[in-house]
Amino acid sequence: MTASPVAPDKTTQSPPPPRDEAYERKLLSRGRRGRFDVKVSPYLYISPFFLLFLVTGLFPLIYTAWIATRQWNTSTGDAGWAICGKLCDSTDPSWLGNFQWVLHQPDFWLALRNSFSIFLLSTIPQIICALILAAILDANLKAKTFWRMGVLLPYVIAPSAAGIIFSQVFSDNFGVINTILDGIGLEPVQWHASQLASHVAIATIVNFRWTGYNTLILLAAMQAIPRDVFEAAVVDGAGRVRQFLSVTIPMLRPTLIFVIITSTIGGLQIFDEPQMFGNTGTPGGPDKHYLTVSLYLWDLGFNRTTIGQPNLGRAAAVAWLLFIIVVVIAILNFLITRRIASTSGAPTKKKKSAKKELAR
Amino acid sequence: MGSIRTRRGLAATAGIAAIALTLTACGGSGDNAADGGNGSDDQVVIKVSTFNNFGFGAPTAQKPGADLWKKYEALHPNVKIEETVAAKSDDARAAFNTAIATGSGAFDIQAVDVDWMPSIMAQPDKFVDLTDYVKDNDWLDWKTQGATTDDGKLVGAGTDIGPEGICFRSDLLAAAGLPSDRDALKEALGGADATWDKYFELGAQYVQKSGGKAWFDSSAAVFQGMVNQIEESHVSKDGEIIAGTDAKGAQQVKADFDQLTAAALAGQSAGLAQWSDDFNAAFNTDKFATTLCPAWFINNIKGNAGEDFKGWDIADVFPGGGGNWGGSYLVVPEQSKVKEEAAKLAAWLSAPEQQVAVFSAASNYPSSPTAQADPAVAGKVDAFLNDAPVGEIFKNRAAAVTVTPFKGAQYFDIQTKLADALNRVDVTKTQTPAQSWDQWLQDVAGLQ
């Protein structure tokens, strides 16, 4: 559509002499087609992703929001607008009913707290470890590829497989760790009975799988840092540690932001590990010590299918609350990370602007 | 110029290929109809979902079985059977609920635990009426009733039942100087008049004489035996939740809870969460001496302890009268593409001859009186259980069942929360019985 007003311009520019109308029309249509091609085909090429996203991402998101406002039972389906019920002493149908119900549940808040605790216990040590490992792998090692592949190996293991193996390692009575602790005369740790111990155990499973993955991403970013920056630092008399803190980390800023945000999303959605860790009874254990938000959502939606209860509507409300929380935390994280990295990275910023000026 | 054109051509091909891929990926789910087929000449694939061990498949070291799939396929050359086995009934239940709710993805035959039958009986329209297919089968009356709607539709074909005895470690009891022979233990527990009081009394003696070893495996497991003897435990027959009220059944639940937690805190419980890794691993140790034993549970003991393990035995006795724990049905969802073939297979699997074959190979006790009377069942002796006459024992145990517990729609959720309450006292040891009971009442309120 936009092509037509431009087209006459172009024809006026072309030399007039040969008044072959058919030829002109041919030229015109070829030009049009060419312009159409240039304008539209890039969007066609990238459309598979967006179509896929529409089907698998956006639609479920919106449909979940719809379900969250309804009294929806897994087996019997929709039964009108949501009702909060006994907990908030109201039987008025309202689209907020399921959200009110969820926010009145002590289990939801417990699950949220557990998710945060496990998320912090896994993400922080994991990113620090990944940074250090990446720095080591970045150095001049023999058999580089071997070490780099080795770091990624745990990531190849399916999360549920890692969960099953670790749940046996962390068994209270017959687990390897407690057997060793017992053997050297220490008190065995009650991995499932103590809140902190269960969080540490689950964070260990997460760290086992994801540290290597983050290491490789950080390593790739480190290798992209121009070597002359390090040479300059060496000339200035900076040692290895100083180079790492003042050059490597600031230069990694965008990658660090990416790693931290993906870890945040993954960490708050944690499901497989606590599910496999407490491989019996109610999800999260009898004390709900390791009940996470995703586990709570799943239990609500797919295990408590009692006829007459709007379990799927409530689960959808949890899903949306989790979605909002993840988005908020991700934005906060982004702001904080940018802050931290930019205060220590002041010189690089100068360098960048200097480069820009040079380019001009 | 030419090179640019080729590159563009390549890119276009790639784009088209990507779109084509997505399209085929989306269309993939429609294939079921094609390979299912309705004509009798076509190859028919019947997908079956079971859990734990139904004993239908080929036998393995961990899971004994009667190899029925092969037999049926030989009888019906156009049928191919694919069985998917979940580890626990809860795992199968979650997937099943989703499939029924969304109206797609259900198996052609689904094995269903009695505890989740109420949710199926609440929506009988979604399941095939099996009445016309099961003419040659017979079941105990209460087994048939459990799967029949008010207007007479039969939605489930009964497989096994779970009459309970007491399994015990004769070596451990002997070492503690207690009666270790199955008849002597039966007498010690009171024979036909066995009570829970006597069970826990003997347990206290065992703890004392064995130097502090546990008497039973898990409070939640023992409670399953107790609650199945209460007619209306958590939900009354008119659909009210009676947990924590002074209704007769609710008071019995409270009394059982108190008695059981007191025994557990006195050291009678091994403090293992049922079905956990620790629980499974404990069957070849001397952690505990007795466990409640529905017929199908012998498969688990064998699998966990190892076929060669010596010491396990079974006594023909059960405290508080008989008890039935578990036992399953086969249902055929209406959404199945091959529901007629599936219904035929379900009927065949639950027929007396096949029930006999399953009990002979594995330990799931028949729900059919004809099968129970079959010499292969009545005369079965189990070498693993020190040559116990299991056929005769389970026949007696089934006859001793007098109460058919009513399990309303909310029963499953409330019972799960009660198992949590027991585990807080017995396994994680984080609460006193009184605290845990109060929290259970709160949890039940939160379910409404």
The string of DSSP letters for A260-280 reads HHHHHHHHHT--HHHHHHT-S
Instruction: Choose the closest CB to B420 out of A73, A87, A282.
Output: A282
pLDDT at A151 over 50: yes
Mean pLDDT for chain A overall: 84
CB contact under 8 A, A306 and B409: yes
Query: Maximum distance among all alpha carbons in chain A?
Result: 102
Instruction: Find all residues with CB under 8 Å of A314, minimum gap 6, and list them.
Output: A98, A101, A102, A300, A301
- Angstrom distance (rounded) from CA B175 to CA B296: 28
Instruction: Give the pLDDT score at B28.
Output: 37
Of B265, B159, B97, give the one whose Cα is nearest residue A73. B97
CA distance B126 to B340: 14
Residue B416: which of B448, B443, B436, B445 has the closest Cα? B443
Please write the tens of the pLDDT for every residue from B286-308: 999 999 999 999 999 999 999 89
| B273:A55 CB<8 A | no
Strands of B241-358 (E only): list them: 288-294, 312-315, 328-331
User: How many Cβ atoms are within 10 Å of A276's Cβ, its own excluded?
Assistant: 20
Q: Which residue of B has its CA nearest to A169?
A: B277
Residue B428 contacts A where some CB pair is shorter than 8 Å: yes
**Would you call A281 and B423 a contact, using CB atoms and an 8 Å cutoff?**
yes
More confident call, A339 vs B351? B351
CA angle B336, B340, B344 (to 5 degrees): 120
A286–chain B Cβ distance below 8 A for any pair: yes
Asked if B448 lies within 8 A of A306 by C-beta distance, the reply is: no
Structure tokens at B114: 């009695």
Burial zone of B19 (CB within 10 Å; 0-12 exposed, 13-18 middle, 19+ buried): middle
The B residues from 219 to 258 touching A (CB cutoff 8 Å) are 220
Chain B neighbors of A286, CB-CB under 8 A = 273, 419-424, 427-428
Nearest residue on chain A to B16, alpha-carbon basis: A45
Per-residue pLDDT band at A307 (split at 50, 70, 90): confident
- Does B427 sit within 8 Å of A192, measured CB to CB? yes
What b-and-e string marks burial along B335-358, b requiring 16 or more CB atoms within 10 Å of the CB?
bbbbbebbbbbbbbbbbbebbbbb
| B15 vs A302, residue with greater confidence | A302
| Chains A, B: CB pairs < 8 Å | 128
Cβ of B122 and A190 within 8 Å?
Answer: no
Q: Closest approach of chain A CAs to the CA of B12, in angstroms?
A: 7
CB contact under 8 A, A172 and B429: no
Residues of B in contact with A55 (CB under 8 A): 26
Q: How many CA atoms lie within 13 A of B85 on its CB side?
A: 10
What is the model's pLDDT at position B46? 96
Asked if B35 and B45 touch (Cβ cutoff 8 Å), the reply is: yes
From CA B298, how far away is CA B55, in angstroms rounded?
12
ipTM of the complex: 0.78
Instruction: Compare CB distances from B18 to A48, A192, A287 and report the shortest one's residue.
Output: A48
Q: Is B101 on the interface with A (CB under 8 A)?
A: yes
Minimal CA separation from A205 to chain B, in Å:
17
A197 touches chain B (CB under 8 A): no
pLDDT above 90 (res A265): no
In this complex, do A281 and B26 lie within 8 Å of one another by their Cβ atoms?
A: no
Minimum distance, in Å, between the CA of residue A34 and any CA atom of chain B: 12
Burial of residue A146, with CB atoms counted within 10 A of its CB: 0-12 exposed, 13-18 middle, 19 or more buried: exposed
Is a pLDDT exceeding 60 seen at residue A91? yes
Determine whether the interchain pair A75/B281 forms a contact, defined as Cβ–Cβ distance below 8 Å: no
Out of A58-62, A296-300, B20-24, B345-349, pick the least confident. Answer: B20-24
pLDDT of residue B20: 45
pLDDT band at residue A5 using 50, 70 and 90 as cut-offs: very low
pLDDT tops 90 at residue A180: yes
Query: CB distance B119–A305 less than 8 Å?
Result: yes
Return the half-sphere exposure (C-beta side, CA atoms, 13 A cut-off) of residue A248: 22
Distance CA B235, CA B241 (A): 4
Directed axis angle between helix A195-223 and helix A253-268, to 10°? 150
| SS3 category, B228 | coil
CB within 8 Å: B417 and A282: yes
Q: Which residues contact A9 (CB under 8 A, 6 or more apart)?
A: none
- Say how far apart CA A230 and CA A15 lie, in whole Å: 59
Percentage of chain A beyond pLDDT 70 is 89
Give the torsion sign (CA, A18, A21, A22, A28). Answer: positive
In this complex, do B281 and A173 lie within 8 Å of one another by their Cβ atoms? yes
CA distance B134 to chain A (A): 27
Q: Encoding tokens for residue A163?
A: 């969960």
Is the CB of A262 inside 8 Å of chain B's CB atoms?
A: no
**Residue of chain A whose alpha carbon sits nearest to that of B96:** A302
Burial per residue of B199-234, b for 16 or more beta-carbon CB atoms within 10 angstroms, e otherwise: bbebbeebbeebeebbbbbbbbbbbbbbbbbbebbb
**Chain A interface, mutation test: which of B93, B155, B277, most A Cβ atoms within 10 Å?**
B277
Q: Summarize pLDDT for B272-287 with one digit per residue, the tens.
A: 998 888 899 999 999 9
Which of B7, B88, B286, B430 to probe by mutation at the A interface, max A CB count within 10 Å? B430
- Cβ of B445 under 8 Å from any chain A Cβ? yes
Q: Is B448 on the interface with A (CB under 8 A)?
A: yes
Check CB contact of B28 with chain A, cutoff 8 Å.
Answer: no
* Minimum Cα–Cα distance from B10: chain A residue: A45
Q: Tokens for A250?
A: 């600031």
Looking at the complex, does the CB of residue A165 fall below 8 Å from at least one CB of chain B? no
Distance, in Å, from the CA atom of B105 to the CA atom of A302, rounded to the nearest integer, reads: 15
By CA distance, what is A286's nearest residue in B?
A: B420
Q: Do B419 and A286 touch (CB under 8 A)?
A: yes
Contact (Cβ atoms closer than 8 angstroms) between residue B408 and residue B118 = yes
Query: Chain B within 8 Å of A284 (Cβ-Cβ)?
Result: no
Least CB–CB distance from B97: residue in A75, A190, A309: A75
Asked if residue B159 lies in contact with residue B111, where contact means CB atoms within 8 angstroms, the answer is: yes
* Separation in Å, CA of A331 to nearest CA in chain B: 32
User: Nearest Cβ partner of A286 from B272, B278, B428?
Assistant: B428
Scored b (16 or more CB within 10 A) or e, A254-263 reads ebbbbbbbeb
Could you give the C-alpha distances from B148 to A37, B24, B120, B408, in angstroms and in order? 66, 42, 11, 15
**B430 interfaces chain A, CB cutoff of 8 Å:** yes
pLDDT of residue A14: 55
Contact by Cβ (8 Å): B368, B138: yes
Asked if A172 is an interface residue toward chain B (Cβ–Cβ < 8 A), one would say: yes
Chain A hits for B118, CB-CB cut-off 8 Å, are 307
- Residue-wise pLDDT for B44-88, tens only, equals 999 999 998 999 999 987 788 999 999 999 999 999 999 999 888
Per run of 10 residues, the mean pLDDT along chain B (length 448 residues) is 42 45 40 42 89 91 89 95 89 84 88 87 91 93 91 94 96 95 95 94 96 95 95 90 92 96 96 90 94 94 92 95 92 94 96 96 94 95 95 94 87 91 94 96 84
pLDDT on residue A328:
92
